[in-house]
Amino acid sequence: MKRMTTLSGAALLTAALAALTGCVETAGTTVTTDHMTGSSLVMEDSTRLRDQIQMLKVNYDEVNGLKRVHITLQSSKHRRLRLNYRIAWFDANGMEVDAATKTYRNLILEGRDTVTVTGLANSPACVTSKLRVRDLEAAD
């Protein structure tokens, strides 16, 4: 009977740890830029990332008829941050253009440092860009 109690206790502990591991917040910070109006919107879905990085400015221009966006991020922490980011492009109807080719990239941001990430649209039909940033540990 004692062995049965020990086994059921171990199973309960394993289930509890698995449930806690599944509660990692994978949402991140999203910066949406409308290249027609020039407006930018910051959505911070992760409370942890909201306290770690800030969006300082958004600039955009055109290169050979394709839109390009430059988004400057700043770390508000004194330690190194390991992040993933992805810049997605959308057409006038709000549909993502060529989503399969846009993967997340690694970004290491030193403490209190500032970095500018740049994305180039792959079609002249792109009118809006969206930067998604997520914590590297949460993405694994």
> What's the mean per-residue pLDDT of the chain?
79
- What tokens appear for 24 in the block? 């990692």
According to CATH, what is the number of the domain 26-139? 2.60.40.3230
Gap between the Cα atoms of 32 and 87, Å rounded: 9
Q: What is the pLDDT of residue 107?
A: 95
- Predicted confidence band of residue 139 (pLDDT cuts 50, 70, 90): low
pTM more than 0.95: no
Q: What is the pLDDT of residue 98?
A: 86
Q: What is the pLDDT of residue 71?
A: 92
Per-residue model confidence as pLDDT tens digits over 66-102: 999 999 999 999 999 999 999 999 999 999 998 887 7
Query: Average pLDDT for residues 13-33, to the nearest whole number?
Result: 54
Q: What is the pLDDT of residue 63?
A: 95
- What tokens appear for 74 in the block? 């700043």
Task: Judge whether 29 and 76 are in contact, CB under 8 Å.
Answer: no
Domain-by-domain residue ranges, the chain? Answer: 26-139
> CA separation (Å) from 24 to 30, 33, 113?
18, 28, 26
Query: Average pLDDT for residues 31-57, to the nearest whole number?
Result: 80
